[in-house]
Amino acid sequence: MQGSDHSSDSGTWTRSSDNLSYRDIDAQMQRFARNVEMNERLSRRLQQYELMLLEAASLAALLDILLRSTRQHFELCGASLTLYDPQHVIAELMPPGLDYGDDLQLVKDTFDMHQRYGVRPEIEVVDVTALADSELPLSANGPATLVLLPLMRDGQLVGSFHWDCDERDAFASSGEREFMAHLAEIIAICLDNCVNAQRLSRLSLLDPVTRTGNNRAFGMELRKEIARAQGHHKPLVLLQVRVDEFADINHTHGHLSGDYVIRSIATQIARMLRATDYIARSGLDQFALLLPACTEAKAQEVAERMRSEIEFMEIDDKRGANLFASLSVGLTCWSPNSYPAVNMEQLAEQINNSALQAMRRASDLGGNRINVVRLTTMMV
């Protein structure tokens, strides 16, 4: 009987031990599944974020993603950026009025950044209390964790991207740090590409966002078309066009959405032009159009069709918003038969100023309209 009881007790203990073992394994599997799911979710977020970075065609759009969209995309309480800019190149490329306050710092040397990262900069996830005496910017919301991403190009530290997180153990796993290290590489490349593209665009004749001519190219084209119109005794029309809502779109939806809007409008306008016509992005929110061998009446028809089509065009900014815009159009027609081109530079300046004056009048009257200014007294 004792042997039987002992066997029964032993069997019970074994089954109990087995049950505990199964529970432990099940708990471990659940933890593993949760970690896999979290890593997959983070991976998807990083891939979406990477696509946003790669689609940024301007420095303003890229900075907008880094300092605004990053917070929403990764549910952060703050994001800030320090960039090495000893020759003030980045500062000069910044659009007028673009100000991120303390969230963006342009520095002349990398001493403070090297003090933070050491000789071999790597991703750091640190407790905020350890940075009490640091000069690194923190958000006013009191983050629990600060993630530091060193931005490297050609082995040199060129910037530091800081994420403020509410969670104390945010981005603590080795897998998450690998994702972040890859992301830091992409950010550094995108910053380098945007800066170089905008520097080249200032020297070249191409606007990097719309792939149309830039203001320098427009000036050259205007003088060339004046000479051609003079030789063929044909009129030349200049349209200066402003996107009325561009500043509001940039402010409300960000510069990446603004780039989509300006690019979409440029594409739509170009489709309405003849092969001999010319379009350039003459300003942040402006286009200049040259219509050779075109009368004022015909140009008004073209401008009205353009204004009407843009007014009802729905623009998908690829970020979940459908945006609308309208145009203020200024029109000036020059006829060489009435006003011969005696002084090319003065004539080009007067034609351009007249079209700009007409555009500003259209804008001041509420936008979404066409205004004509006729050349009356030529300065020769």
Query: Looking at residue 186, which CATH number applies to its domain?
Result: 3.30.450.40
- Among 200, 212, 356, 327, residue whose Cα is nearest residue 280: 212
Q: Is the pLDDT of residue 94 over 90?
A: no
What average pLDDT does the segment 132-159 reach? 76
Query: Over the stretch 35-76, which tens digit does the pLDDT of each residue have?
Result: 666 567 777 888 888 888 988 888 999 999 999 999 988 888
CA distance 263 to 201: 16
For residues 263 and 315, is the Cβ–Cβ distance under 8 A? no
What average pLDDT does the segment 246-275 reach? 92
User: Do 193 and 212 share a structural domain?
Assistant: no
User: Do 260 and 332 share a structural domain?
Assistant: yes
User: For residue 331, what are the β-bridge partners?
Assistant: 239, 372
Between residues 79 and 28, the one the model is more confident about: 79
User: pTM of this prediction?
Assistant: 0.66
3-class DSSP assignment, residue 274: coil
CATH code of 309's domain: 3.30.70.270
User: Do 129 and 147 share a structural domain?
Assistant: yes
CA distance 328 to 302: 14
Range of the domain at 353: 205-372
Q: Is there a domain that residue 333 lies in?
A: yes
User: Do 184 and 47 share a structural domain?
Assistant: yes
User: Do 168 and 189 share a structural domain?
Assistant: yes
Q: Is there a domain that residue 1 lies in?
A: no
Query: Over the stretch 177-227, which tens digit does the pLDDT of each residue have?
Result: 888 888 999 999 999 999 998 888 777 888 989 999 999 999 999 999 999
Q: Which residue has the tokens 């004046």?
A: 226
Residue 127 confidence class, pLDDT cut points 50, 70, 90:
confident
CA distance 61 to 231: 43
DSSP state of 128: G
3-class DSSP assignment, residue 276: coil
CA distance 91 to 80: 16
Mean pLDDT of the chain: 85
Q: Is there a domain that residue 6 lies in?
A: no
Q: Is there a domain that residue 380 lies in?
A: no
Measure CA 142 to chain center.
28
User: Do 239 and 354 share a structural domain?
Assistant: yes
Q: Is there a domain that residue 377 lies in?
A: no
Of the residues 201, 230, 255, the one at which a domain ends: 201
Q: Is the pLDDT of residue 275 over 60?
A: yes
User: Do 212 and 195 share a structural domain?
Assistant: no
User: Do 163 and 224 share a structural domain?
Assistant: no
